Amino acid sequence: MADYQSDDKCFNVVGSRVIRVDAVDKVTGRAKYGADYNALGQLYGVSKYADYPHAKIKSINIAKAKSLDGVRAVLTHENIPGEKSFGAITANQMVMCTDTVRFMGDVVAIVAAESQEIAEKAADLIEVDYDELPVVSDPEQALADESPRLYETGNLCFHHKVRKGDIEKGFAHSDIVVERDYSTQRIEHSYLEPEAVLAEPGENGGITIVGTLQNLYNIRRVVARVLNLPLNRIRLIQATLGGSFGGKDEVMSSICCRAALLAMTCGRPVKMTNSREQSMRESYKRHPYKMKYKVGLSKDGILQAMEIKVYADAGPYSAMSPFVTWRSVVQATGPYIVPNVKTDIYAAYTNNCYTSAMRGFGSPQICFATESLMDELAELVGLDPLEIRLKNILTDGSTTATGQTLNHKVSVGEALNIVSKKADFKARWQENRRQNINQVIKKGIGLSCSYRGVSLGAEGTDAAGVGISIQTDGSVVVYTGLVDMGQGAATTISIVVAEELGVTVDRIRFLNADTTAIPDSGPTVASRTSFMAGNAAKNGCAELLKRIKPVAAEILSCPESSLEFKDNKISSRVTNKNLDYGELAAACFRKGISLFSHGWYKGPTTTWDEHTGQGDAYFTFVYAANLAEVEVDTVTGQVKVTRFISSHDLGRTLNLNGAKGQVYGGVAMGLGYALFEEYGQDDGRPLLENFDEYLLATSCDVPEIDVIFIENPDLLGPHGAKSLGEPACELAAPAIANAITNATGLRVRELPLTLERVLLGKALSRKETRGSLKARSRKQ
Amino acid sequence: MSSDLTPKIKFRLNGIDMEKEVPAGWTLLRYLREELGLTGTKCGCEIGECGACTVLMNGKPVNSCLVMAPQIENASIWTIEGVTPPGGTALHPVQKAFIECDAVHCGFCTPGMVMTTIGLLLQNKKPDNSQIKQALAGNLCRCTGYIQIFEAVRLAAAMISENDMRPFRENISEN
C-alpha cells in the first residue's frame, strides 16, 4: 500500500478559513448575473412551446405573429443555417422541432420583438396544427415491443451492463434470496436563477453570448454547428451563476442557439430570459429510476450475489443519459463486496421532460436503493444496520463490482463508525424500536454510506487548464474554463494558487470563464473541479516559480533552495533578507521573463470494457457516511428531521468554509429529495410550474448538521484533495428513509416520502397536485 | 417602458427622495430592475415564493414581485444597493456577517436574505434561533442549506448598533 503521509506538510493557505473571493460582490448586489446584462437597442426573444407531449406537426403559421407591430423576427427550424439537432452522444435534441414534438418543453418557433410583451403576444399568435401521437410515459413500458415509439429505431437510449463472477452460482450458494423494487422521482435542479442570455452579433461576423452558462465549451460547439460558424467566431462569457447543480448545460445550448439565431437575423442584440414557469417547462431534470434488486446472502449476512435491473427515464433526448446511467452501473452494488454481480441499466426514451446531469449524476437513485436494501437485509438476518454494512463493506485492497482493485485508503467503514459513534447509533436504533410503541410522535435513526468515483472516469478524456498571470505589482489573475456556479470553485482554485505562489488569497483575482481566454477544460461536472483545476493550477504555478526563483535568488544573493515564498514576500532562510512580491515581478518583467503560465493537467488513465462492464472505472474514489434522526408524527405523517451527521473523506480539505457549505447544502438538497420534491407529470404533461407546488426545503426544514471530514490525502489529488460536491447530496434521502422505518416499522420504497406514503405506505391515487395545471386547464 | 405611466408620485428610494411617473402595470421588481437599473434585486419566481426579490418597504421586508410599482407612493424603499452607499467600500454589519460566515454561495438569494435580515433586526434586535428560522422561511436558498445563513444572522445581531439601523427606519413613522 502507498504511504499516505508522504504528502503531509504544513500549509499556509490550504485548509484554513478563507473568505469567499466573490462574496463582497454578492452581498452588495454588484455581482452581475445573466439577467442583469442589457445592451442598447436590444430585442426580446421568446419561445413558442409545444402544445402536446407527443404530436406530428402538420403546419406552423407565423403570418399573424409576423405582422404584429414591433415584431422583428419569427423563426422556425427552416431558418437554421446549420445542424438542427445536437447531443453529446446521440444528436437528437432539437433546437426547434422539424416535424414532431416529443415533450411539452419542445420549441417550435421563436420570436424577437421590441418588448417582452410584444414578443409574448406574437408567440401566442403563432398557429401550429398538430396530429396527436400516443404518449410514452413509463421507461420500463417504453421498452416493450408493443409500446408506441419516439424514434424509428425504438425507445432504447442506452444499455449498460456489469458482469462479475457467476450470478447463478452466487444465488445457489445463498441461504436467503430476496427481491426488492425501489423507485425515485423526477426532480428539478431549482437553481434560484432562471436561465438568461444576451446574444450580440459581433464585429467579425460572429456572435458573443453572455449568460447563465455552466459548460461553455459544450455550448459553444453546439452554437457553432447550429449557426454553421467556426468555433473562433463564437465567444461565450459566463455571467456570475445563480446556481446550476448540473442544470445549465443542454438547456443553455438550446437557448443560446435560439438567441443567436434571432440576433444574427435581426443584426441586433437579443435578450432571452426564462420565467420560472418556462424554466421548469423546458429545463431538464434528474432521472426517475425504477430499480429491481435481487439479492442473495448467507444467513450470517454476507452478500453473495446481486442481480440488478434499472430503468431510467431519459425523456425524449439522449443528453447526458448515457453518462449518468454509466455512473449508476459502476456504483449499483453500493460500497460493498459482492462476488457475483449482474447489472443491467436501461435508459429509455419517453415523452416526459428530458433528463440529464444533476448533482449526484446517477448516484442519488442508486444510493436510495442500496442503502434501503441493506437495512432490509439486516432485518432479515437479525443484524443491525451498522453490523450488516461493516460485514460487507469495501476495505483497502477490495475489488469493486467492476473488477477494480482499490489501491488507496478505503475509508467508508471508518466514516460509518464515526457517524454511528457520534450519535450512539446502535443503542439508539434499538431503543427507538422499544420506546416508540404507543407513542404518537415516533423517533427514528438511520444510516447510509457510499463510495463514489472521482471526476469523469471512463466517461471520457479528462483534462483541464488554468491560466495564471502574475502582475508587475505582485497581484495575480487566474482564469480557467471551469466555472464557479456557487460551489466555491473560484475560491478553491485561488487557494491552490495562493499556496503555491506564496501570495495571499486577497491578492488574487479569479475571472469568470470566457471561451476566448482559455482552452477547453472540459465541463464543470462530476465534482472534478478541485481535483482537475487544482492540479492544473499547481502545474502552472510550478512553471512560474521555475522562472522567477532564479531572479529572486539573484536579488537576495542566496541559493534558490533557501527561498521561501509566503504572504506576498520572498525571503531567504540564509541571508534573512526580504523581497516584496511586486518588486520581484517587476524585476522579472524588466528582464523579459514571462509572468504568464498555462497549467495543464490530464487525469490518469481509466479503462472500461463495455461488453463485460469490467475495468478501472475511476482513477480514485471518495467515501462517505450519513446519519439522520427523525420524528414522525403518526397522526399527520409529517416527518421532522431533527439531527444530521455527515462524514466525508475528501482526501484533503482545501477550502474549509467552502467544504462545510457544500455539505450543508447537499444535505438540504437531499432532504428535499427525500421528503418534498417531485416534478410530477401525467401522460407527459407537467402537473406544476413554479415553487408554489414544487416544494424545496426551507429554513424551517433543515436540522442541525454536524460535518466531520476525514482526510486521507490522495496520491493524485492537489495536496491530496479529491471531491465533495456531489457525495454531499447523495446520501441524505436513504438515511432519512431508514430513520423513518426505524420510527414507524414501515418500509417505503418510493421517493419522495410524502405524508401519505409515510402513513399508509403508498401514494393516494391522485394524479393532480394541488390546484394543478391540469385542473386549471380543464376549467378553461 | 411599454406600460402606461401614472402621474408623478413621490417615494423615497435608498434614502433619496424621488418624484417620478411609474409604469402602472409593472411590479416594483420590474421597475427597479428594468427602469432604474437596480439589478441587485433578483427575480426568481415572480409569485412571491422564493424571496430573491425582497426589498424593505417602510422598514418591512416585502416581495417586490408582489408589489405593483404605483403602490410605492409615499413609501420608503430600500434595496441592496442602498445598504452599501454608492462607491463606498464600507459594508453594513449584516453584509459583513454574511461574508464572515460564508453564508454566500451562488449569491442569487443573498440580496433578499440580507434585506430580510435587516427587516428582522429592525423589529427584533436579539432574535432567537426559532425567530430567525421563521423570519427567513420566505427566502429560499438552494446552495447553503441555510446553516451558515443562520450563523450570519446571529453574528449580525451581535454586531449591529442602532446607528447601523437608523437609515432604514427613516420616514417609517411619517406614513
Give the span between the Cα atoms of A449 and A451, in whole angstroms: 7
Cell 460547439 sits at which residue? A221
Over residues A347-359, mean pLDDT: 98
Q: Distance between terminal CA atoms of chain B?
A: 29
pLDDT of residue A5: 34
User: Helices A581-590 and A529-556 meet at what angle, rounded to 10?
Assistant: 80
Looking at CA atoms only, how far is residue B72 from chain A in angstroms? 21
| Exposure class string for A47-80: b at 16+ Cβ within 10 A, else e | bbbbebbbbebeebebeebeebebbbbbbbbeeb
A35-134+189-282 has the same fold as A4-31+463-602: no
- The proportion of chain B whose per-residue pLDDT surpasses 70, expressed as a percent, equals 93
Q: Identify the three-state secondary structure at position A592.
A: coil
Is the pLDDT reported for residue B175 higher than 50?
Answer: no
Residue A76 — pLDDT band, cuts 50, 70, 90?
very high
pLDDT given at position A126? 98
Given a cut of 80, is residue A765 above it in pLDDT? no
Which residue ranges form the domains of chain B, and what is each CATH number? 9-83 (3.10.20.30), 93-169 (1.10.150.120)
pLDDT of residue B86: 60
> Which triple of cell numbers denotes residue A201?
452579433
pLDDT at A776: 52
Grade residue B174 by pLDDT with cuts at 50, 70 and 90: very low
**% residues pLDDT > 70 (chain A):** 97
A623 CB-near residues (< 8 Å, 6+ apart): A335, A410, A411, A412, A414, A415, A449, A450, A451, A452, A648, A649, A710
Fold (CATH) for A35-134+189-282: Aldehyde Oxidoreductase; domain 3 (3.90.1170)
Across the interface, whether the CB atoms of A664 and B146 are under 8 A apart is answered: yes
Mark yes or no for CB contact A26/B44 under 8 Å.
no
Q: In this predicted structure, what is the pLDDT of residue A6?
A: 36
Q: For residue A274, is pLDDT > 60?
A: yes
Residue-wise pLDDT tens digits, A704-747: 999 999 999 999 889 999 989 999 999 999 999 999 999 999 99
The answer to whether the CB atoms of A193 and B133 lie below 8 A apart is: no
Q: Kindly tell me if the per-residue pLDDT of B100 is higher than 70.
A: yes
Which residues in A85-115 are b (16+ Cβ under 10 Å) and which e? Answer: bbbbebebbbbbbeebbbbbbbbbbbbbbbe
Q: Summarize the confidence of residues B33-45 as an average pLDDT.
A: 97
- Mean pLDDT throughout A586-600? 96
Residue A2 has pLDDT above 60, yes or no: no
> Is B102 in Cβ contact with A23 (below 8 Å)?
yes
Q: ipTM of the assembly?
A: 0.97
Q: Is pTM beyond 0.90 here?
A: yes
- Of the candidates B52, B145, B150, which has its C-beta nearest A668's C-beta? B145
Nearest Cβ partner for A27 among B95, B145, B146? B95
Q: Is B159 on the interface with A (CB under 8 A)?
A: no
The mean predicted confidence, pLDDT, of chain B is 93
In chain A, whose CA is at the least distance from the CA of B2? A115
pLDDT given for residue B96 in this prediction = 96
Instruction: Please determine, for residue A763, whether its predicted confidence score (pLDDT) is greater than 90.
Output: no
- Residues A145-179 have pLDDT tens digits of 999 999 999 999 999 999 999 999 999 999 999 99
Instruction: Judge whether residue A496 has pLDDT over 90.
Output: yes
pLDDT of A768 higher than 90: no
> Least CA distance to B45: which residue of chain A?
A276
The set of residues, in sequence order, having a beta carbon less than 8 Å from that of B125 and lying 6+ positions away, is: B157, B160
Cell of B51: 424571496
Q: Using one digit for the tens of pLDDT, what is the confidence trace for A455-482?
A: 988 877 889 999 999 999 999 999 888 8
Query: What is A359-457+612-775's CATH topology?
Result: Aldehyde Oxidoreductase; domain 4 (3.30.365)
Q: What is the pLDDT of residue A767?
A: 56
Query: Of B108, B144, B150, which has the smallest distance from its Cβ to A193's Cβ?
Result: B108
Tell if the CB–CB gap between B140 and A696 is shorter than 8 Å. yes
In this prediction, residue B1 has a pLDDT band, given cuts at 50, 70 and 90, of low
Kindly list the domain boundaries of chain A, sorted by start residue. Answer: 4-31+463-602, 35-134+189-282, 359-457+612-775
Contact A485 B106 (CB under 8 A): yes
Please report the residues numbered 29 through 88 in chain B whose beta carbons come closer than 8 angstroms to any beta carbon of chain A.
33, 38-47, 49-50, 52, 79-81, 83-84
pLDDT confidence of residue B62: 98
Report whether A521 contacts A465 (CB < 8 A): yes
User: How far apart are the C-alpha atoms of A351 and A135, rounded to whole Å?
Assistant: 6
Q: Topology of domain A4-31+463-602, per CATH?
A: Aldehyde Oxidoreductase; domain 4 (3.30.365)
What does the pLDDT average to over A130-136?
Answer: 98
pLDDT beyond 90 at A243? yes
Q: Which residue has the higher pLDDT, A175 or A18?
A: A175
* Average pLDDT value for chain A: 94
- Comparing C-alpha atoms, which of A681, A673, A680 is closest to residue A697? A673
Tell me whether residues B105 and A192 touch, CB distance under 8 A. Answer: no
B154, with CB counted inside 10 A (0-12, 13-18, 19+), is middle
The proportion of chain B whose per-residue pLDDT surpasses 90, expressed as a percent, equals 88
